[in-house]
């Protein structure tokens, strides 16, 4: 599935991250050792410690890189939906599901590894950038709701993030016993539709 190749010292750090991503996807975030990551990268176990303090540090870097991709994907979706606030918002929701499918190793490192988003300042910063895109999309879409009826953009976006994450975890990652007769994309789109109708942002018969 994955071709191994030799690495020079200059790109060894990235080789180890790539190896970890392969192992995370195949065995889960706690299903491999640093020695296995080193073997996957074609280097000695001692070489790992020149770049990472331990497995959690390695997974945290995989998560940081995942958030970088995720933030870019979300920003692209937001930009592609312009100038329609509704299209931009709905695109960011779909982008969450698309990211989870295309980058499962990164997704697991980010959300299922137990690594805190605040484990490093760099990880926290890029995670905030990603969530900021969704919050901006929520703010754009809700600006016409009367202030007294308008949920804070941070709450609005957190609701949609939770909806998206729940659909991914329960139905898009093949969790045992969680089979659904509906495609994850349909579940997410209909759930967001119900939410937006509740806020009066789309017509009830749309």
CB-based contact 34:58 (threshold 8 Å):
yes
- Mean pLDDT, residues 129-140 taken together: 93
Q: What is the pTM of this model?
A: 0.86
CB-based contact 126:67 (threshold 8 Å):
yes
Q: Are residues 108 and 144 both part of a single domain?
A: yes
Q: What is the DSSP string of 18-77?
A: HHHHHHHHHH-TTS--HHHHHHHHTS-HHHHTTT-SSHHHHHHHHHHHHHHHHHHHHHHH
* Domain presence at residue 204: no
Note the pLDDT tens digit of each residue in 78-132. Answer: 999 999 998 998 899 889 999 999 999 999 999 999 999 888 899 999 999 999 9
* Domain presence at residue 170: yes
Q: Are residues 39 and 138 both part of a single domain?
A: no
Note the pLDDT tens digit of each residue in 5-55. Answer: 444 555 889 999 999 999 999 999 989 999 999 999 998 888 888 889 889
CB contact burial 153-165 (16+ within 10 A = b; e otherwise): beebbbbbbebbe
Domain residues for the domain of 154 are 60-198
* Domain presence at residue 144: yes
Q: What is the DSSP string of 138-165?
A: HHHHHTTS-GGGPPPHHHHHHHHHHHHH
Report the 10 Å Cβ neighbour count for 13.
18
Q: Is the pLDDT of residue 4 over 60?
A: no
Q: Are residues 124 and 173 both part of a single domain?
A: yes
In a 10 Å sphere around its CB, with 0-12 CB exposed, 13-18 middle and 19+ buried, how is residue 169 labelled?
middle
CB-based contact 124:81 (threshold 8 Å):
no
Q: What is the CATH number of the domain that holds 40?
A: 1.10.10
| Integer Cα distance of 111 and 123 in angstroms | 13
| Integer Cα distance of 44 and 40 in angstroms | 10
Q: Are residues 67 and 110 both part of a single domain?
A: yes
Please give the tally of structural domains in the chain: 2
Q: Are residues 30 and 128 both part of a single domain?
A: no
Q: Are residues 148 and 74 both part of a single domain?
A: yes
Q: With the CA atoms of 5, 10, 14 and 17 taken in that order, what torsion angle do they form, in degrees rounded to the nearest 10?
A: 80
Q: What is the CATH number of the domain that holds 135?
A: 1.10.357.10
Q: Are residues 44 and 68 both part of a single domain?
A: no
Q: Are residues 83 and 146 both part of a single domain?
A: yes
* Domain presence at residue 3: no
Q: Are residues 94 and 139 both part of a single domain?
A: yes
Question: What's the distance, Cα to Cα, between the start and end of the chain in Å?
Answer: 45
* Domain presence at residue 106: yes
- Mean pLDDT, residues 129-141 taken together: 93
Q: Are residues 87 and 184 both part of a single domain?
A: yes
């Amino acid at each position: 599935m994955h071709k191994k190749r030799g690495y020079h010292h200059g790109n060894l750090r990235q080789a180890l991250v790539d190896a970890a991503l392969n192992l995370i996807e195949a065995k889960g975030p706690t299903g491999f050792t640093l020695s296995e990551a080193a073997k996957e990268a074609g280097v000695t176990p001692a070489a790992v410690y020149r770049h990472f303090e331990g497995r959690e540090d390695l997974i945290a870097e995989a998560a940081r890189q995942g958030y970088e991709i995720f933030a870019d994907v979300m920003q692209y979706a937001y930009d592609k939906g312009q100038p329609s606030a509704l299209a931009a918002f709905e695109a960011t929701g779909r982008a969450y599901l698309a990211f989870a499918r295309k980058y499962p190793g990164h997704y697991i490192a980010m959300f299922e590894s137990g690594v805190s988003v605040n484990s490093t300042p760099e990880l926290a910063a890029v995670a905030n950038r990603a969530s900021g895109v969704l919050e901006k999309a929520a703010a754009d879409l809700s600006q016409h709701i009367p202030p007294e009826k308008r949920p804070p953009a941070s709450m609005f976006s957190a609701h949609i993030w939770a909806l998206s994450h729940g659909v991914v975890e329960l139905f898009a990652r093949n969790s045992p016993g969680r089979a659904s007769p509906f495609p994850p994309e349909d579940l997410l789109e209909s759930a967001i539709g119900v939410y937006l109708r509740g806020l009066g942002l789309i017509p009830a018969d749309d």
